[in-house]
Amino acid sequence: MYVMGLSGKETELQSVSAQEFSAFVGLVESRLRRALAATWGPEVGREATAEALAWAWENWTSVQSMENAAGYLYRVGASRVRPRRKPIEDYRRLLTGTDDGAKFDPDQRHFEPGLADALTHLSDRQRTVVVLVHGCGWTHQEVADALELSRSSVATHLDRALDGLRAELGVDHDG
Amino acid sequence: MDFEPSWGLTMMADSDKTGTDGMPPLESQIRALVDAVVEDSGPPLGADEAMMRSGLGPECRVSKRERGGSARWLVAAAAALILIAITSVTILVARGTDSGRVATTSAPQSGFDAWGPGWHQIDRSSLPPMAVASIAWFQGRLIVVGGSLNVDRQGDWREEAWAYRPETKTWSEIPGPGLAGVSLVVAGDRLVAVGTKDISIDKPNHVSQLNRWATWAGGDADWVHQDVMPENPDIGRLGPTAIAADRGKYLVWTGDALLDFTSGTVLYPETGKMGLIELPRGVLTYSYLSVTTPVWTGSEVVWPARGISTDAIGLKWTADGTGVGEIPAPPPEGVERLMSDGSDRSVVFSKDGRVVVMTVGPYVASFDPRDDSWISIDGSDRLAAPTCFDGGVTSGGDVVLVPCEASADGVVPFIWRDGDWFDTEVLPGGAERVSHMISRRAGSALVIWSLRSGSPDVDPVDFAAVWVPRASARLSPAVRHNRSQSESQSFTTTAPAGLESPTGVTTTSIAGDPSLPTSLKLGTADCTAALEKLPDLGPWLPANLDVGPTPGTGGAPNIPTCARSWGAGNAPAVHATQSPGQSIFGGERLGRAGDYTWSSIEDGWKIEHSGTNPWNVNLYGVTQAQVADLARSLAKL
């Protein structure tokens, strides 16, 4: 990819950057979109991912030096969609099967019918932690870094989230 | 979905108990649910879309959000893609013919970004001294326009206009607007200078043709001098004047018009037309507005305020300044006492159409113009912000807080951007304090520029620094500014601590009509008054808190106080101070004799006394988590 307004040498360097950025997107996009979609729902999550990746390109040199770029970009994406504060209604609508737009047959799901609703009843922080850990496979440390929490706080939020879900779903500890 | 029932059943067998209805464990259900969500989030996003989105710029993205719906976004994206494709062909052709440069689309770095994250000092040593100055980031350069009275030349105004290139770290002189006391504002594709004319040292109180303005398109273009600005004679009732230290705080660009609240004028940089800002009847009653600043929300100009009177209100205008209306006052708690205390202790900025007022305390209130509602956040139990600060609000919505209190290493500014606090590093150059400054966004960076306070003991002379955001997370683990208490040490309590009131405290600072609020003044405290060692600060402080009192120490740096301090051995983070009626920073209003509140922040602990004996003592531990908590609250506004 060539960038306009630059000399030949500069353009060549930008081309290299673009190639490196493309490789980077290939590595982090799936993980990032999964985390953001899990937290905010598919539509907002996709938008947040696109915003985060655009930010990454705008700050590509800085991003290259990050140890956990995906974690940082998660926060960038989350901060970009927060102002809209669109509740994860599409998340609920998609999964609860109570809406005409539901794409999943309730009989084919491998989760409790009320799980999506129960997740929406958690605090933002609890929901974020539980979906990142159990929905996305992030380690406690990765979540702690991304959310600026201590590992112990992550564990606490996680425990409370699971307790809340179990209480709302009426299931015993299955752990 | 990648969930496999057999795996879930295995997990269930290993579990203490199973889920209901033969469902796998809850953790596996969550993963299956997330799989479904992600599946619905569409195909993978590519680097091209990210770069294309970046090239469209934030305005386009915001507009897209306002319009709503992804279909239009796709149309815009497709159009942009086509445009890029066409342009790329053009470039290839241009490169083939070696026909030179064409316009730029996007670049990952520009300006100060290449300097790397953190604070960097901008060398001003090659610039002549300027009594006043204004700065702006315009066309990739930091523009400085200022000047001073040239005493050697019979008091002529000597104008200075310079441009700084971050790439070369060099200053170059540029044509100036030919005005004195200039404030710069970037208005669309033009740089606007609003200033004065014909200031003479022979007539220090006389300023003729006070309000003039000029526009500049940059490059080799000349400044375009516009007509003399009409003045609304009543505008001065609102407080700010054309010779305000940072007149730019009262210049509001709405995207079409530039509203100058120091002259009451509406300027149209593109056409040179001018008009008058409509003022409310009885404008004198709104004089308290000067303690805050007006801000553009994206749909209207809002000037929030809360004066001494509890029912004081703010004002709002349409984008062209022709319609004026009132808005309710912020909630009283926190804001009233601070907003009546001076504009250097409050900052106003716009975020997502809301107006946010932040004062020391910290107290944060957010106003939504759409329904005239206020939301308040009392952060005093979460963050002991600097007890005094100077704030600058940039067009990008950044807030920089430079505390008047320096840590042992120096001044550590706080920056609030995009819903997060950035705890920055110590200012370079040994700056101990920058209380008279202006700040402007420079691309993704932020520039602070000291203005002369007249006291070299207070501010470093000719100081400028640029902050480039860190790539890493916001608040660093090594929290600066003595904010390194661990969570286990944090507490908030209003429990009486059994303190004895120092002799003479209740009378030394009271002046004026006891029935009226009276600001505490420096120098009214009796430093010879007997102070008593705090006998008991409750169970909250370490048992070895027994060093002191040390007369003459404590309080804000560079401010003579008669505070006494107590420390806990070599633990500087645990201090308690006791100041008899002294207006150290944080001193609040006096109500009547024997009924007062003052507070101080000393190394991260805030100690607040109020009322008569026994004093109630509020102690605030400060933790990184508390800072982050407040930041999150801000983000939810």
Give B330-379 as a DSSP string.
PPSTTHHHHHTS-GGGEEEEEETTEEEEEETTTEEEEEETTTTEEEEEEG
Candidate ranges B176-180, B494-498, B584-588; pick with highest mean pLDDT: B176-180
Rounded to a whole number, what is the distance in Å from the CA of B392 to chain A's nearest CA?
Answer: 22
Identity at B51, one-letter amino acid code = M
Give the confidence band of B365 by pLDDT, cuts at 50, 70, 90: confident
pLDDT at position B499 is: 27
The least confident of B55-59, B398-402, B431-435 is B55-59
Q: Report the interhelical angle of A42-58 vs B26-39 (nearest 10°).
A: 70
The least confident of A103-112, B6-15, B392-401 is B6-15
pLDDT at position A24 is: 82
What is the average per-residue pLDDT within B383-403?
A: 53
Give the confidence band of B594 by pLDDT, cuts at 50, 70, 90: very low
Residue B528 DSSP one-character state: T
Nearest chain B residue (CA) to A77: B418
Q: Are B517 and B630 in contact (CB under 8 A)?
A: no
pLDDT at position B321 is: 92
The least confident of A167-171, B268-272, B432-436, B523-527 is B523-527
Interface of A with B in 54-73 (CB under 8 A): 54-63, 65-67, 72
The pairs formed by B57-62 with CB atoms below 8 angstroms and a separation of 24 or more are B61/A51, B61/A54
Task: Report the C-alpha dihedral over residues B294, B295, B300, B306, rounded to 10 degrees.
Answer: -50
pLDDT at A10 over 50: no
Q: Which of B34, B48, B117 is closest, CB to CB, to A62?
A: B117
pLDDT at B208 over 50: no
Q: Are A173 and A164 in contact (CB under 8 A)?
A: no
Distance CA A17, CA A122 (A): 41
Candidate ranges B2-11, B35-44, B85-94, B468-477; pick with highest mean pLDDT: B35-44
Q: Is B563 left (phi over 0), alpha (psi -120 to 50) or beta?
A: beta
> How many CB pairs (< 8 A) connect A and B?
234
% of chain B with per-residue pLDDT over 70: 41
Look up residue B1 and give its two tokens.
Answer: 């979905």
Look up residue A45 and give its two tokens.
Answer: 């999550």
Sign of torsion over alpha carbons B178, B184, B186, B187: negative
Q: Is A4 on the interface with B (CB under 8 A)?
A: yes
Candidate ranges A153-157, B72-76, B257-261, B392-396; pick with highest mean pLDDT: B257-261
Nearest chain A residue (CA) to B9: A110
pLDDT at position A21 is: 79
Coil vs helix vs strand at B398? coil
Q: Which of B41, B47, B95 is closest, CB to CB, to A42?
A: B41
Does the beta-carbon distance from B23 to A110 stay under 8 Å?
A: yes
Contacts of A12 by beta carbon, 8 Å cutoff, 6+ apart: none
Cα-based distances in Å from B327 to B286, B315, B368, B432: 12, 5, 10, 39
The helix (run of H) or strand (run of E) holding residue B148 is strand B141-150
- The reported pTM is 0.48
More confident residue, B536 or B32: B32
Q: Give me the sheet containing B224-225, strands edge to edge.
A: B180-187, B190-196, B212-216, B224-225
Rounded to a whole number, what is the distance in Å from the CA of B223 to chain A's nearest CA?
Answer: 26
% of chain A with per-residue pLDDT over 70: 71
Distance CA B490, CA B482 (A): 14
pLDDT at position A171 is: 74
pLDDT at B532 over 80: no
Burial class, B523, CB count within 10 angstroms (exposed 0-12 / middle 13-18 / buried 19+): exposed
pLDDT at position B163 is: 94
pLDDT at position B586 is: 30
More confident residue, A154 or B36: A154
Q: Are B132 and A34 in contact (CB under 8 A)?
A: no
Interface of A with B in 141-170 (CB under 8 A): 145, 148-150, 153, 162, 165-166, 169-170
Does the beta-carbon distance from B352 to A42 stay under 8 Å?
A: no
pLDDT at position A6 is: 30
The least confident of B92-96, B277-281, B527-531, B600-604 is B92-96
- Write the pLDDT tens digit of every residue in B152-178: 555 567 788 999 999 889 999 999 998
Give the confidence band of B98 by pLDDT, cuts at 50, 70, 90: very low
Distance CA A84, CA B266 (A): 32
pLDDT at position B143 is: 95
Q: Is A38 on the interface with B (CB under 8 A)?
A: yes
Residues in chain B: 637
Q: What is chain B's mean pLDDT, rounded?
A: 58
Give the confidence band of B425 by pLDDT, cuts at 50, 70, 90: confident
Does the beta-carbon distance from B45 to A29 stay under 8 Å?
A: yes
Candidate ranges A124-133, B151-160, B231-240, B448-457; pick with highest mean pLDDT: A124-133
Give the confidence band of A148 by pLDDT, cuts at 50, 70, 90: confident
pLDDT at position A40 is: 76
pLDDT at B539 over 70: no
Give the confidence band of B377 by pLDDT, cuts at 50, 70, 90: low
Q: Which residues lie across from B207 on neighbouring strands?
A: B199
Contacts of B343 by beta carbon, 8 Å cutoff, 6+ apart: B249, B290, B291, B292, B293
pLDDT at position B419 is: 56
Does the beta-carbon distance from A22 to B47 stay under 8 Å?
A: yes
Q: Are B260 and B189 in contact (CB under 8 A)?
A: no
Give the confidence band of A73 by pLDDT, cuts at 50, 70, 90: confident
- With vertex at residue B66, the alpha carbon angle to CA B64 and CA B67, rounded to the nearest 5 degrees, is 65
Give the confidence band of B460 by pLDDT, cuts at 50, 70, 90: low
How many CB atoms within 10 Å of residue B93? 10
Residue B485 DSSP one-character state: B
pLDDT at position A102 is: 44
pLDDT at position B19 is: 41
